[in-house]
Amino acid sequence: MISPAVPSLVREINERRTIEILRAKGALHAAEIARLIGLSRTTMAEILRELVEARLIQEYMPGEEDSRRAKSVFEAVSDLKVSLAIDIGARFIRAAIGDLNLVIRSEANIEVKNSDLESILADIKSAVRLALKESNFKIKDIAAICVAAPGIIHQDGVISIAGALPSLDGFDLKAFISKEYGIAPRIENDVNMLTIAEQKIGLGQEKKNFAVLSIGSGLGSGLVLNGDLHRGHNGAAGEVFWVPFGDPRDKRRESTNPSGDSIADIARNLRKKEKKSTLKEPYSMIEIIAAAKEGDLLGKAIVAEVAERIALYAGAISAITDVELIILSGGIGRQANFFLAPIKELLKEVLPVSPQILVSSLGADAILIGALQMATIDACEFTFLDRRKIINRDIAVSDIG
């Protein structure tokens, strides 16, 4: 048994570090874990035994093909509980089930056909039901939930200014999810979850100060400052759409908005000058870029206008936060490699120091991935505290004996 002289807090810290190392690095020998944590082999063996008994980790003998087969190895148990992530988008509602080792066990996509509140809530339940069915887990197996939604997310879980999904304005999403699944969820802004994905597995890894500028059906940004996601006092940090460029009372930001909401208006205005074009309504950015690559003058003019508008918002973010990197994402932002040069040139022209500008390498599931990252953190914490009761009970019994 562990000596009573070892403080329980130190023991808990070493238990947490052991599990974290195994989740990060996979299966390891006891000696390898001890070396990474800086513990004696005797102390390490006691901690490993207790974690195995609590089913937080498991021990097994590697197969013959493994060079380490002479000794047993330990790995973190991944399926004691699972996490649920939900991404509420204007076009699709996505749900994913992930295990404690951040392996996605299933994913479900539901196309949004009606954006009224009743339909949105029904689509959420359908996506979750499909994800659970595919994963072979049940609601009772879920330890934590994170929901990514558009708009400003208040601390009580109520949404405001939900953009393309106005039916969510004023809705208490946290109360709905809690009632439906019996778990109090995290409710997070969708672009913030996109930013978490970039921080954990994307271009923001090892960056202390960076921003994500998402340009798609709407416009928003996420900020990581000094290594932490910055949500702001009201949960409204990064709502760059409301930067009062041009006419400050123009709530549509007609002269500056580069998102999908404005593409058709930009194209119609520019067509007055560039009348010879293969482009026709309804205008899409994919078709516009394809036409521009072929030399279509209207396509090139639209791309130039969008690039300037994106640079305007990137410049505002940089001037205030002085981040080292801005990552362009969203349906339009992820296509920006084609017009990245003019964005960079304008930023260098108007700013005293300009950030690095890169295009996200993550796909359309990035928001869901970020939400799953956050849900898994909560699920791992819940599972550790729940299973550690077994460790504490056994220690107490052995001390009495």
* Number of compact structural domains in the chain: 3
The domain that contains 109 carries what CATH number? 3.30.420.40
pLDDT at 365: 94
Residue 389 belongs to a domain: no
Q: Is 43 in the same domain as 122?
A: no
CA 217/CA 164 separation, integer angstroms: 8
Residue 196, helix vs strand vs coil: helix
Higher pLDDT pick, 44 / 395: 44
Query: HSE (CB half, 13 Å, CA atoms) of 86?
Result: 28
List the domain range (segments joined by +) for residue 296. Answer: 205-359
pLDDT at 36: 95
Residue 334 · residue 213 · CB < 8 Å: no
CB atoms within 10 A of CB 319: 14
Q: What is the mean pLDDT of the chain?
A: 92
Residue 313 belongs to a domain: yes
Check pLDDT > 90 for residue 65: no
Residue 141 belongs to a domain: yes
Structure tokens at 297: 């003058």
With both helix axes pointing from N to C terminus, report the angle between 190-201 and 366-400 in degrees, rounded to the nearest 10: 70
Q: Is 326 in the same domain as 272?
A: yes
Residue 392 belongs to a domain: no
Residue 68 belongs to a domain: yes
Q: Residue 275's pLDDT band (boundaries 50, 70, 90)? A: confident
Structure tokens at 137: 């887990």
Average pLDDT over residues 38-61: 93
Query: HSE (CB half, 13 Å, CA atoms) of 37?
Result: 29
Helical H segments across 142-255, by residue range: 173-181, 190-201
Q: Is 218 in the same domain as 141?
A: no
Please compute Rg for the chain using Cα positions: 25
Q: Is 243 in the same domain as 311?
A: yes
Long-range contacts of 222-228 (CB under 8 A, 24+ apart): 222/189, 222/191, 222/192, 222/194, 222/195, 222/196, 223/195, 223/317, 223/321, 223/323, 224/195, 224/199, 224/323, 225/321, 225/323
CB atoms within 10 A of CB 263: 20
Ranking 141-150, 193-202, 267-276 by mean pLDDT, the lowest is: 267-276
Q: Is 41 in the same domain as 96?
A: no
| Amino acid at position 391, single letter | I
pLDDT tens by residue, 125-174: 999 999 999 999 999 999 999 999 999 999 899 999 998 899 999 999 99
Check pLDDT > 60 for residue 69: no
- Residue located via tokens 């932490």: 228
pLDDT at 250: 85
Which residues in 78-169 belong to E strands, given as ranges? 82-88, 92-98, 104-111, 142-149, 152-153, 159-160
DSSP state of 74: E
Maximal CA-CA distance, the chain: 90
pLDDT at 261: 86
Higher pLDDT pick, 360 / 163: 360
Q: Is 71 in the same domain as 165?
A: no
Check pLDDT > 60 for residue 5: no
The domain that contains 43 carries what CATH number? 1.10.10.10
Q: Is 68 in the same domain as 209?
A: no
How far are the Cα atoms of 149, 198, 362, 393 from residue 91, in angstroms, in the given order?
12, 22, 18, 50
Query: Mean pLDDT highest for which of 240-249, 260-269, 324-333?
Result: 324-333
Residue 211 belongs to a domain: yes
Structure tokens at 93: 């509602």
pLDDT at 390: 64
Check pLDDT > 50 for residue 362: yes
Which residues in 289-373 belong to E strands, given as ranges? 325-329, 356-359
Q: Is 245 in the same domain as 341?
A: yes
Average pLDDT over residues 22-41: 94
Residue 390 belongs to a domain: no
Residue 396 belongs to a domain: no
Q: Is 259 in the same domain as 371?
A: no
Residue 215 · residue 261 · CB < 8 Å: no
| Amino acid at position 375, single letter | A
Q: Residue 392's pLDDT band (boundaries 50, 70, 90)? A: low
Residue 184 · residue 193 · CB < 8 Å: no
Q: Is 251 in the same domain as 337?
A: yes
Q: Is 320 in the same domain as 373?
A: no
Q: Is 268 in the same domain as 187?
A: no
pLDDT tens by residue, 86-136: 999 999 999 999 999 999 999 999 999 999 999 999 999 999 999 999 999
pLDDT tens by residue, 364-391: 999 999 999 999 999 999 999 988 776 6
pLDDT tens by residue, 32-47: 999 999 999 999 999 9
pLDDT at 2: 46
